[in-house]
Structure formats: C-alpha cells, structure tokens
C-alpha cells in the first residue's frame, strides 16, 4: 500500500516547515508596541470608519457597508441606519459628517413622521454647532410640522432665535415649550434671558427714537433761527449747531470752535486759539495781532476780508456769505507773510464793512 508512504512524505514536509519556522520567525503578527494601530485596521475593532472606503484596500469594510446600506432594505430601516451613523458622528463632534448622514436619512422619504422629526431635529443640532443658525431653525420648524409637541425641537428652535437676536420669538418658543413641560429647566432659563434681552432691546429702540426726534426738533429750530436772521445756506444738510471752522491755508491746518455764539467776536476766539503758539508754527508768526480773516463766496472765486472785531452774526448776515452744511468756515493767515500775498494775488478781495 502506498498510503503510509504518503503519510511519511507528509510528515517529512511538516518537519521541514517547522524547522524553517523556527529559524525564520513569522513576521506578519502584531507588534506589542503597535497593537492599537493594527486593531484599527480590522473592521470589527475600528473606532472610526474612513471617510472614503476603497474596496481594494478595505474589502471587509466595503462588504459591511454594502450590507448596512443595502437598497433592498425598507426606507425606514435605511433612514434609521443613517440616523445612527449621524449620531455617532455627532458624538465625535464631526458635525459636518453628521449633517450629511441625517440628510441622507431624510432623502429616504420614509413614512414614519417620528423618525423624520428626529432626523430634522438632530440635523438642526449639528447645524447649530456649525454656526448655521438659520438652517437649524428651518430644520426644527420642519420637525414641528411633523411633530408639534417635539420638545427637543422647541428647545433648539428657541436657542436659534436667541443666537439670531430674535428675542421676542425666543420667548414665544419657550412659552410654547413650557405649555408641554412647565418645569423644563432649559426653557425656563432661556426664557428669562430672552425676556431680559428683549426688554433691553426695546428700551434701546425707544431711546434711539427719542434721540432722533430731539435731533430733528433741534435741526428744525436751528433752521428757523437761521431763516429769521436772513442767513443764506448752501445746503440744508444737518451739521454742527453753532460751530465754526477756521482753517490756516499756509500750514493746511483746520480747527473747529464749538459753541461759537452769534454775538461773540472773531478776535475773542483768535485770542484763545493763538494765545499760545501752536506746535506747527515753527516761525511763531501766528499771533492774534498778525492774523487776517477771510471768507469765500458761494463759488469760491472771490474773497472777503473780515474785521476781527466783527461778531459771528454780522459776518453770517453778509449778503455774499453762505453757510455750508450748517458750519460757518473762515480762512486765517498771517497778513504780512509772503504766502498770504501770493495766496491773495490774482484774486478779487472785498472788505466787509
């Protein structure tokens, strides 16, 4: 019989393999320092699935995925699978992938309104953490159409309104939720916060309207006073009340004088402005006694010399003076300077009497 020979040959082959194995240890096993990485390659032990699955590299995982998302399964089963997948992504704080999973679940158009409401509400939560408050609000609104008393949807909707500064709407959503559960802590806290912010917002709106009304009345009174004094305006635009703008053209310097009373003289303000030598006047020429004051006509083609002892009202009532944007303006320069002579050269200068 040849069987024993065959057995003997098999024994010889096994002996040969064992001898080779002892001399050349198996190299495909897990290394004790890398066992976690090796386990992560096995679908059963994976903590997180790869974003893209290549069937050639991960045939086992591709097989499992095809079973999980088998199109032959009912829409409800598939939607629930996507919901669970989205929940896993949500726990990992991977909100973008969670949104994708919940969206895929909704695309299955299952007939279970409760499941669809959960998918909308969960997607709203993921959108909320992504900062997409309007999208989240749209989702919870859709969830409430399917399930009006869905408390989680109401809580998340109130949160979205709060983030969008729709404080009155946030209060309304909280009230609707508290009708379902009067002791819901989140809604109670949120309602108190939203109501406080709503009152603050309403107070600020009232203050702004009152300020606007006062400003309007102030401007109307100013215009009436200007018209009563026969002062000509270039523009009716609102500006600084009883302010004056003086400009030194030689050094391109401008200065505003607040509360320049109409009966005050120009020289009185020049004494205050130039009582001390300005930092930009390196030659110390801008002394009150050396200064000359001019104004331009409406077209800016002619200049008018103003006696320093003139009052503001006297100048404003001059037939060739026009106030621009409710702010009187004057040119101030050193009369004896070369710049002033060159500046005035070729221009028609009149003297205000």
Instruction: Check whether residue 166 and residue 275 sit in a common domain.
Output: no
Instruction: Check whether residue 157 and residue 269 sit in a common domain.
Output: no
- For residue 188, what pLDDT is reported? 96
CATH value at residue 82? 1.25.40.10
- For residue 107, what pLDDT is reported? 93
pTM tops 0.75: no
- For residue 56, what pLDDT is reported? 56
CATH value at residue 345? 3.10.20.90
Q: Per DSSP, what are the bridge partners of residue 296?
A: 303
Residue 280 in domain: yes
Instruction: Check whether residue 189 and residue 304 sit in a common domain.
Output: no
Residues in the chain: 353
Q: Provide long-range contacts, Cβ within 8 A and 24+ apart, for 65-73.
A: none
Total domains, the chain? 2
Domain of 280 in residue numbering reads as 244-351
Residue 44 in domain: no
- For residue 238, what pLDDT is reported? 41
Residue 300 in domain: yes
Residue 232 in domain: no
Backbone angles phi, psi at 321, to 5 degrees: -95, 135
Residue ranges of the chain with per-residue pLDDT less than 50: 1-8, 10, 17-18, 21, 26, 29-30, 44, 236-241
* List of E strands, the chain: 232-233, 244-248, 253-257, 291-296, 302-306, 322-323, 329-334, 348-351
């Amino acid at each position: 019989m040849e069987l024993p020979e065959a057995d003997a040959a098999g024994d010889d082959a096994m002996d040969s393999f064992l001898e080779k194995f002892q001399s050349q240890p198996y190299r495909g096993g897990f290394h004790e320092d890398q066992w976690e990485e090796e386990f992560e390659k096995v679908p059963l032990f994976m903590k997180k699935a790869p974003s893209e699955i290549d069937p050639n590299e991960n045939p086992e995982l591709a097989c499992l995925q095809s079973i999980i998302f088998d199109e032959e399964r009912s829409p409800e089963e598939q939607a629930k699978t996507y919901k669970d997948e989205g929940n896993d992504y949500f726990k990992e704080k991977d909100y973008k992938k969670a949104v994708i999973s919940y969206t895929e679940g909704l695309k299955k158009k299952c007939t279970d309104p409760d499941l669809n409401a959960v998918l909308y509400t969960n997607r709203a939560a993921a959108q909320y953490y992504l900062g997409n408050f309007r999208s989240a609000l749209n989702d919870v609104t859709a969830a409430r159409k399917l399930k009006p008393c869905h408390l989680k949807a109401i809580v998340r909707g109130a949160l979205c309104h709060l983030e969008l500064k729709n404080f009155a709407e946030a209060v309304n959503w909280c009230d609707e939720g508290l009708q379902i559960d009067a002791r819901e802590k989140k809604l109670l806290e949120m309602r108190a916060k939203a109501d406080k912010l709503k009152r603050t917002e309403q107070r600020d709106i009232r203050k702004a309207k009152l300020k606007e009304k006062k400003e309007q009345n102030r401007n109307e009174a100013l215009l009436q006073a200007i018209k009563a004094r026969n002062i000509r305006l270039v523009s009716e635009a609102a500006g600084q009340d009883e302010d004056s703008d003086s400009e030194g053209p030689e050094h391109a310097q401008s200065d505003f004088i607040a509360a320049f009373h109409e009966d005050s003289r120009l020289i009185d303000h020049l004494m205050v402005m130039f009582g001390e030598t300005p930092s930009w006047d390196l030659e110390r020429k801008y002394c009150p006694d050396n200064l000359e004051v001019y104004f331009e006509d409406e077209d800016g083609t002619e200049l008018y010399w103003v006696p320093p002892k003139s009052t503001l009202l006297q100048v404003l009532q001059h037939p060739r003076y026009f106030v621009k944007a409710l702010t009187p303006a004057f040119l101030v320069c050193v009369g004896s300077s070369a710049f002033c002579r060159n500046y005035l050269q070729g221009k028609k200068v009149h003297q205000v009497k």
